[in-house]
Structure 1
């Protein structure tokens, strides 16, 4: 990861996030350059679980079908329990940034492990709270990794989606 600013998009629902990823895939965008982070489910009413079968991660309950589909497209699926957020599912290159923050004890100055990982992909310290808050209220954050051309292509494709981009 570099400290160049990766564009981040916030989606209100998992349906909107999935639609955006599908739009990017149909446009020829390399979906391995995408990360998705979110919780967006409530386990009070439905059991929720994740397990592996060989090289595939399976999920059930709430939005299990959604995460199962996303994990089929994006690389490095993971589920973490993060203090203040609860259970957070994610996939893509961002997982490595979070693991690095957790393993390296980068959490300093009141920044959470998630905040440290966001800063690793170029989010400013002032903007970290914005994305953490979005996740707390069950929104989804899509991160576009890659070069300037990748960011521009993703922006063009997502212009007509229900996402908003943090400038």
Structure 2
């Protein structure tokens, strides 16, 4: 009896929370809403905005190949909802636009930080090792999952952006 009720509550939660994900920019910073909360970072707290190509394993599990992230100075990254190639075909162009806004609003105190770059690289290597340890998915022939879009309007295939190089910090 309890299992059907819990399953029903979970379905209602996902149906309610999933469409409410967003990434919003304003003059103060960036706000990101995931399933449970809204996180706000001031422009000065951000170290970088990047659109990253996901490795094959991650792409198969989520159906994504490119995802945008906001990086803090401590190297931690924050997923920018609705800025991926499933939700926004021109994700690289959108990430470049966000970087342009950030470059203007981050303040004169921002400097390239080699320590932050090394923390970001270390975390990326850690994620890669974690995915490399999960190669069983390929050998077992597990299916790849893809979910429908949960964000607002999608562009047409004609809106797909060409490869846009990163803007130097």
Whether these two folds match at TM > 0.5 is no
Which has the higher relative contact order, 1 or 2, with Cα contacts under 8 A spaced 6 or more apart?
1
TM-score, reference length from structure 2? 0.25
Larger radius of gyration: 2
TM-score, reference length from structure 1? 0.26
